[in-house]
Amino acid sequence: MASVPEELTKTSVIKIDESQLRGHVDEVVRSSVEETLNSLL
């Protein structure tokens, strides 16, 4: 088994709230599509 580099063992753990991430991505996509459609009209 390969050893984990020391710098990786000292890093913080990042917790991702999937519902918040999904909501944010939904809003970014929605606004991007809206801007694109508006520019085509």
1-41 confidence digits (pLDDT tens): 566 666 666 667 888 899 999 999 999 999 999 999 999 98
Please state the pTM of the whole predicted model. 0.57
> What are the structure tokens assigned to 18, written together?
């999937």
Give 15's DSSP letter.
P
pLDDT of 7 reads 61
Say how many Å lie between the first and final Cα of the chain, rounded: 59
pLDDT of 38 reads 96
